[in-house]
């Protein structure tokens, strides 16, 4: 009876898990070279761990079967067995080799994702200043002289260079299908290199808890060919209202907003921090910005 319940439970678990297999995990559905590199590393790690787990369970079954207890006389004394240098070498050597293997792969992949995406080295990147506030994202396009809130349009087949910082607590900029997350902080700028190979709509979010509005601290991403991106920029310049310092101060107030579009950027009157990747220069707070405006 117990075995019947165990079998039924196993079947139910397998069916439940398989029902969700139609929807791929976003990190395993890459749409850019950086995300592809990270997805490959994840799969290598998963397969490596799977082999280890399978080997352990196989050895466990062998040990249980081969060395299982049997009926022995009451005065039976097992023979004295010395340790095996071969077994000890295997038990120590294999884990060391696995750690070295995964470490080399991790270091190599980190170097790749921290630089211009492979295949895009000779192209001029699109620079976007991505700043966060409670609980929204501001995207400044300095070359295009436009700014969006809570949505991001990017061209495909072109390197992207995001300058990340925050007007509040530490947040984490993350577009799972384009690359890994990176922190945005209030007193320095972090640079994130991405690229989109495939046109489409993707999800972006803050991956770091930053207060009660964290769950809705998301943004929409749309990747499109370069000519469509340029048309969108021209449309924004022709239809959007200018972004003023007074309006930007209002946007920094805690709360949730929809998608907004402006001409001009806040970089003119509220520039990004001067420090980058470790050189700390404190950014004026929201209150200080308001005082300077007055």
Per-chain mean pLDDT for the chain: 86
Domain positions in the chain:
126-270+283-293
Phi and psi at residue 268, in whole multiples of 5°? -70, -40
Phi, psi (degrees; rounded to nearest 5) at 218? -120, 170
Q: What's the token pair of residue 185?
A: 């902080």
Which pLDDT does position 292 carry in this prediction? 39
| Cβ atoms within 10 Å of 61's Cβ, excluding its own | 10
- CA dist 186 and 177 (Å) reads 26
Q: What is the pLDDT of residues 25-58, one digit of tens each?
A: 888 899 999 999 999 999 999 999 999 999 999 9
> Which whole number is the average pLDDT over 77-104?
89
pLDDT of amino acid 283: 44
What kind of architecture, by CATH, is found in domain 126-270+283-293?
Sandwich (2.60)
User: Alpha-carbon distance 256 to 164, whole Å?
Assistant: 20
The tally of CA atoms less than 13 A away on the side-chain side of residue 107 is 6
Output the pTM of the full model: 0.80
Confidence of residue 117 (pLDDT cuts 50, 70, 90): very high
Longest dimension (CA), the chain: 97
Query: What's the pLDDT tens digit per position in 176-227?
Result: 999 999 999 998 999 999 999 999 999 999 999 888 888 889 999 999 999 9
State how far the Cα of 31 lies from the Cα of 248, in Å rounded to an integer: 33
């Amino acid at each position: 009876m117990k075995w019947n319940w165990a079998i039924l439970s196993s079947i139910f678990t397998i069916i439940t898990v398989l029902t969700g297999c139609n929807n791929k995990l976003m990190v395993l559905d890459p749409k850019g070279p950086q995300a592809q590199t990270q997805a490959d590393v994840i799969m290598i790690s998963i397969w490596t761990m799977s082999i280890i787990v399978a080997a352990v369970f196989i050895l466990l079954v062998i040990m249980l079967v081969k060395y299982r207890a049997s009926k022995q006389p009451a005065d039976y004394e097992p023979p004295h067995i010395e340790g095996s240098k071969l077994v000890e070498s295997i038990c120590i050597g294999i884990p060391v080799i696995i750690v070295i293997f995964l470490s080399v792969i991790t270091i190599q992949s980190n170097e790749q994702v921290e630089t211009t995406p492979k295949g895009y080295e000779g192209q001029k990147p699109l620079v976007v200043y991505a700043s966060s506030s409670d609980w929204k994202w501001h995207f400044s396009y300095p070359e295009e002289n436009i700014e969006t809130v809570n949505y991001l349009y990017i061209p495909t087949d072109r390197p992207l260079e995001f300058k990340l910082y925050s007007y509040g607590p530490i947040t984490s900029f993350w577009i799972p299908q384009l690359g890994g997350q990176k922190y945005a902080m209030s007193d320095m700028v972090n640079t994130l290199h991405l690229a989109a190979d495939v046109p489409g709509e993707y999800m972006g979010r803050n991956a770091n808890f930053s207060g009660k509005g964290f769950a809705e601290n998301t943004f929409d991403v749309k990747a499109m060919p370069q000519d469509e991106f340029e048309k969108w920029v021209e449309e924004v310049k022709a239809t959007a209202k200018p972004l003023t310092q007074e309006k930007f101060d209002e946007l920094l107030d805690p709360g949730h907003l929809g998608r907004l579009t402006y001409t001009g950027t806040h970089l003119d009157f509220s520039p990004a921090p001067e420090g980058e990747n470790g050189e700390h220069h404190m950014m004026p707070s929201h209150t200080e910005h308001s005082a300077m405006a007055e």
